[in-house]
Amino acid sequence: DRLVYEMKDQVIARLDVEAALGTLTAKQRACVLLAAEGYTYREIAQQLGVSLATIQGHLAAAQKRLRSILFEA
């Protein structure tokens, strides 16, 4: 029974994260997903054809948004 509850909690958490990711802009979401795959900021900037500063801005905004949705709600 405990395993079922743990799995349920994991599924709910995953759905929460997916919903939160859906609130990001397309560029923010792309940056977050590429960073999660292990790409460096510089590699993400090259892939998306934007500056490193732009990537840093997208990720900072995404982090702020995700934190507010997932942890401060």
CA-CA distances (angstroms) from residue 39 to 44, 64, 73?
6, 20, 29
Checking if the pLDDT of 73 tops 60, the result is: no
Checking if the pLDDT of 4 tops 80, the result is: no
Q: Is the pTM of this model over 0.75?
A: yes
- Structure confidence by residue, pLDDT tens digits, 30-64: 999 999 999 999 999 999 999 999 999 999 999 99
If phi > 0 it is left, if psi is from -120 to 50 it is alpha, else beta; for residue 38 that is: left
- pLDDT of 59 reads 97
- pLDDT of 14 reads 75
**Across residues 65-71, what is the average pLDDT?**
90
